[in-house]
Amino acid sequence: MDEVLAAVAETIKNFAIIYLVDITEIPDFISMYEMYDPSTVMFFFRNKHIMIDLGTGNNNKINWDLKDKQEFVDIVETVYRGAWKGRGLVIAPKDYSTKYRY
């Protein structure tokens, strides 16, 4: 996931910024957002947490590795557009539930 984040940082710099956070430094934040996975991607817009419906049941974060750079860019663009319109829950461009195999 680190490679994908580093690769898309330049592409999405006009509408998103990627921050890498060491979870040992912020224990209160970890318990508040239940960040117990080794890799977690969350979205914020104007200091507000933006939830995204990915079809997995967990609307707070992405907690699996995405291998495709364009797929991640599409997710970030969707979140940006939804957050800009004032939506607190954004629908992902693709369903990531386990019943669909892509």
Give me the CATH number covering residue 35. 3.40.30.10
List the beta bridge partners of residue 43.
50
- How many domains, in total, are found in the chain? 1
Question: What residues make up the domain containing 28?
Answer: 2-91
Query: Residue 31 — pLDDT band, cuts 50, 70, 90?
Result: confident
Contact 92, 51 (CB under 8 A): no
Q: Is residue 30 within a helix (H) or strand (E), and if so which, with residue range? A: helix 27-33
Q: Answer whether residue 102 is part of any domain.
A: no
List the beta bridge partners of residue 45.
48
Q: Answer whether residue 96 is part of any domain.
A: no
Q: Answer whether residue 99 is part of any domain.
A: no
User: What pTM was computed for the model?
Assistant: 0.82
Query: Residue 98 — pLDDT band, cuts 50, 70, 90?
Result: low
Q: Answer whether residue 15 is part of any domain.
A: yes
Contact 60, 49 (CB under 8 A): yes
Q: Answer whether residue 97 is part of any domain.
A: no
In the prediction, which pLDDT does 7 show? 92
